[in-house]
Amino acid sequence: MNPGQYNFAYLDEQTKRMIRRALLKAVAIPGYQVPFGSREMPLPYGWGTGGIQVTASIIGKDDVLKVIDQGADDTTNAISIRRFFARTAGVRTTERTSQATIIQTRHRVPETPLRGDQILVYQVPIPEPLRWLEPREAETRKMHALAEYGAMHVRLYEDITRYGRVVTAYDYPVRVEGRYLMRPSPIPKFDNPKLHMNPALQLFGAGREKRIYAVPPWTRVESLDFEDHPFRVESWEERCALCGSDKSFLDEVLTDDKGGRMFVCSDTDYCAARRAGSAR
Amino acid sequence: MSEAARLDCADAVTALAEPPLLEVEGLGKSFGAVLACAGISFSLWPGEVLGVVGESGSGKTTLLNCLAGRLLPDEGLVRYRLADGRMVDLFALSEAERRRLARTEWGFVHQNPRDGLRLSVSAGGNIGERLMLVGARHYGNIRAAARDWLDKVEIDLARLDDRPARFSGGMQQRLQIARNLVSNPRLVLMDEPTGSLDVSVQARLLDLLRGLVAGLGLSAVVVTHDLSVARLLAHRLLVMRRGRVVESGLTDRVLDDPQHPYTQLLAASILQA
C-alpha cells in the first residue's frame, strides 16, 4: 500500500468535519447520543469502526497514539489499529499510557490515572442503554428526551431477586451529569468509577449504530443502584501474579490442562511498569 | 332493586356533590373514512365506575385509547382534574406531562395481559416497575410493596419471583391489575378486563375488582361487551353503537328498563339463568 494514496488519517476532510461537528455536540450535551454519518472502514463492524473514525477525526501530526484491547497493547485488534494510524497518519505510537495523547480503547480504562491533556476514545458496540426494555428507536429517544429512566432499575431489581446482588458485570449503565442515561461501552464495572470526574476528555463512537457521545472532563458519572444495594466493583482475593498489584483489574489465565491458573493484570502497560519498578 | 344496587346508587349520588374527575365533550375520532367514535360526551365523578358497553367495532376501545392519551382525537375535549384540583385539557398538556400522568395518576388494564406485563421480568419486578418509575430506589421497600400487592390480588406469595409467562391467564390478569394499582392511581381505564378468561375465573376476578374499586375509592372506565360484567362493576353505563352513544344512565335502569331499541336488543340477548 502506498500511504500517499490516502488522506491524512484515512478519512477525507469533509467526513472528519462532519464527525467533529457531531463530537462538539456530544461534548456540549454530556451523555447524549449524537447521530453521525458513519463510514465504511477497512475493518469489520464490531472491531472498532466507531472508535477508529473518532480517532481519525481528532488525531493530529503531533499526537501520540496508544490502542488497547481488553487492557492489552499486544492483541490483534490493538496492533492493527495502531499500525493503521502509523501508516495513514504517520503519527508516533506508544504502549505507555502516560506518554499517549490519544488512547483508543476496547473494554477497559487504563489503570494509570489520565490527565487533562489526554483523550480516551471508546469503541462502542451498542450505544442505547434502554434497548433491552424498548426495541423502538423512536420510543427510546422520547424516553431520553423526557428522562424516563425508572424502568432501568427493573433490571437491577431482577438481578438482586435472582442472584442476591446486581450481577451485571460490564456495560453497567450510568447517569451522566444527573441527566442522560449512558452505556459506558463493555468496560467492566470495575472501571465505572474512573469515568466519574475524570480530567481527560472521553469520547464514544459506535460505527454500526452510527452514534457518538461524550463525557467531558470533570463530569459526574454515577452508576445506577439501590439505596439498600449500593453500587460495588469487583474484588479479588488474589494479587497479580506478575507485579503483585492488589488494585488493578485481574484476568484469570489458564496455564496448563491440569487446572493450573494465575491471575494477572489486564492492563499490560500498568503491569509492565510496576515490574520495571518505575513510574514511567 | 337489590341491596347492593341501592348502595351503588347512594354512592353515585353522594359523588355528585364533588366536581367531576373527567369531563369529555364532543369527542370524535376517525381512521381515514372509518368513523370510530363521534360526539361522545360524559363526566366521571370521583369514586365512580363507568361502564362502556356495545358490540365489537362500536368504538369502545378507540374511546378508551383517546381518554388514555394514547390516541389523538380529531375533535372534542377531554378535561381531567389533577390531584391538586386544577382542571386541565388533556390534549393541551405537553406529551411529557401526559406521560407522567399515565404512569402516576392513571392505570391502564389491557384486555390481553401480555400487552400490559413484562413477561420476562418476575412478578415482583412487574409490580415494582411503577414505583421505580416514580423514583423508588429502595429494594427492600419495593419488594415489600410487591409482596403486599400480590397478596391483595390473591396470588400465592411463593410466585413473587416467578415470571408471569408461566402464570395462568387469570393470574396474569390479576398481576396486571396489581401492577397498575400499586402506585395508587386516581383513574383506571380497563379494556375488557375479563375478556379472555373462562367463566369461573371471570367471577373471581370481578369479585376482586369490585372489592378493590370500592376499597380504594377508584374511579374507573370499564369497556366491556359483557353485560353481566357491566352490571357487577359499573355504577353508570354508556351504550355505544357505530361510534355513538345511544343510551346512558344508571346501570340497573339501563339494563332493566332499556329505552333505545339497540339497548333493548342487547339487554334481551343476555341468557336468563
Phi-psi category of residue B193: left, alpha or beta, with phi > 0 → left and psi -120 to 50 → alpha: alpha
Q: When comparing pLDDT for B15 and A269, which is higher?
A: A269
Residue in chain B closest to A134 (alpha carbons) equals B118
Cβ–Cβ gap B137/A161 under 8 Å: no
Grid cell of A97 as nine digits: 499510557
Q: Which candidate in B117, B133, B182 is best for mutational testing of the A interface (most A CBs within 10 A)?
A: B133
Nearest to A234 by CA among A252, A250, A220: A250
Whether ipTM tops 0.85, in short, is no
Q: Which of A48, A244, A271, A277 is catalytic?
A: A271
pLDDT tens-digit profile of A145-194? 999 998 899 999 999 999 999 999 999 999 999 999 999 999 999 999 99
Q: How far apart are CA A200 and CA A115, in angstroms?
A: 5
pLDDT at B16: 55
Sequence-separated (6 or more) residues with CB below 8 Å from residue A269: A66, A68, A73, A95, A96, A97, A110, A112
pLDDT at B105: 92
Our CA-based measurement puts residue B124 at a distance from the nearest CA of chain A, in whole angstroms, of 9
Q: What angle do CA B92, B27, B32 make, to 5 degrees?
A: 100
pLDDT at B12: 53
User: Could you identify the residue written with the cell 470526574?
Assistant: A197
Interface size A-B, in CB pairs within 8 Å, comes to 53
> For chain A, what is the largest distance between any 2 Cα atoms, rounded to a whole number of angstroms?
60
Phi, psi (rounded to 5 degrees) for A158 = -60, -40
Residue B225 confidence class, pLDDT cut points 50, 70, 90: confident
CA distances from A47 to A80, A121, A124, A137, B3 (A): 10, 14, 9, 24, 73
Nearest to B56 by CA among B223, B205, B173, B221: B223
Residue B273 confidence class, pLDDT cut points 50, 70, 90: very low
Is there a contact between B125 and B118 (Cβ–Cβ < 8 Å)? Answer: yes
Phi, psi (rounded to 5 degrees) for A206 = -115, 105
pLDDT tens-digit profile of A2-34? 556 789 999 999 999 999 999 999 999 999 999
pLDDT tens-digit profile of B69-126? 889 999 999 999 998 889 999 999 998 899 989 888 999 999 999 999 999 999 999 9
Q: Which of A4, A31, A51, A116 is catalytic?
A: A31
Q: How far apart are CA A191 and CA A174, in angstroms?
A: 12
Helix (H) / strand (E) element for A154: namely: helix A152-163
pLDDT at B3: 52
**In chain B, pLDDT over 90 holds for what percent of residues?**
60
Residue A1 confidence class, pLDDT cut points 50, 70, 90: very low
Nearest to A174 by CA among A125, A220, A227, A235: A220
pLDDT at B236: 95
pLDDT at A279: 45
Q: Helix, strand, or coil here: B54?
A: coil
Q: Which candidate in B104, B137, B161, B179 is best for mutational testing of the A interface (most A CBs within 10 A)?
A: B137
Q: Which residues of B touch A229 (CB under 8 A)?
A: 139
Cβ–Cβ gap A154/B128 under 8 Å: yes
Listed by number, the residues of chain A in 135-164 with a beta carbon closer than 8 Å to a beta carbon of chain B are 142, 145-146, 148, 150-151, 153-154, 157-158, 160-162
Grid cell of B167 as nine digits: 402464570
pLDDT tens-digit profile of B164-206? 999 998 899 999 999 999 988 999 999 998 877 778 888 888 8
**In chain A, pLDDT over 90 holds for what percent of residues?**
92
Q: Average of pLDDT values for A121-148?
A: 93
Grid cell of B139 as nine digits: 429494594
pLDDT at B8: 54
Q: When comparing pLDDT for B216 and A205, which is higher?
A: A205
Strand partners, B87: B81
Q: How far apart are CA B66 and CA B76, in angstroms?
A: 10
pLDDT tens-digit profile of A217-274? 999 999 999 999 999 999 999 999 999 999 999 999 999 999 999 999 999 999 999 9
Half-sphere exposure of A214 (CA within 13 A, CB side): 22
Three-state SS sequence of B224-235: ECCHHHHHHHCC
